[in-house]
Structure 1
């Protein structure tokens, strides 16, 4: 990913970017970029079926056809596109989750404080994936594909203390005055994940550790 700008939309399903939202977006997109560039993500991407139990697939769904299940060439082609994606315009959506497509990537207020606690952080991957595919594809199918990988890998990297930004008090977004936010702060979305909650990728990498070199 080369550049990030802020989306100008201030109408309909979009809210105006304020300094509080802009500062927090810098943190979220940096953590996401770190995740996408991690050796774990690369391993998952090129071994998707072995790791996740299914091949990645395009807009035609889970079929053996062009636009369906990925071939080896598809994995290489789209990995290169992910690593070299151009401008991304970051926005604040007001639809209850997020919006994405083309250059635009937006998420709702609650992600701006809940991402430290892994509450549905996969939505960022989901909206990022809309650059390539719709809801019938693994790019942006809820609870599947890129959304699921993003959510679980974020949890893994956070538990390993490897994300660039992990302190929820760094910007104190959750203390932004209510009249400067599009929604209030839900306390239950700021609850740490229990140690007993171990996701699929955490179990996978515990059994199949990667050699990480600096």
Structure 2
């Protein structure tokens, strides 16, 4: 099984080393770098191409929403998991708008972090129980549809984009060089993840969130 490649950004050396060692000893995870500096994190991300960047939200030394937006542009496909001590809805909503894919409270324990890394690495969104209790307030502050779309894989977002352009399953299959059965499977997964009933609702969401105009990347 291919391991999820993890880059860790945390200012406290003890936190960085403890989490880093634990990740490196966990089956299915591989630590590709650890740093306390945002510029170094950019360099490491470009070189190591991690699947997930984990960062400590409680550091005031770094503008994390800016960090997430800029690194997303530099390293297409990278996903972000934040660690936080308080789960503040205001801070998490700003990060959701920037493009994170999950958040875990530091009080949750390492097993919760592993679960979050696995889920985010597989292309899903993941917020632990403590954060989830605040999600209704968080989602009221951001575009909920945009957050849900970030939980799709790159292939699924491409299918959503083509659906929004009026493509049939056969046309999508031809465009993406897939079988129609595979396209149907993608659409089933998309409907389940987005909690929608049909492809028309998916297309409407794509136009509301801008994906239909800006493309799937």
**Structure having greater relative contact order (Cα 8 Å, sep ≥ 6):** 1
TM-score with structure 1 setting the length: 0.28
- TM-score (norm. length: structure 2): 0.28
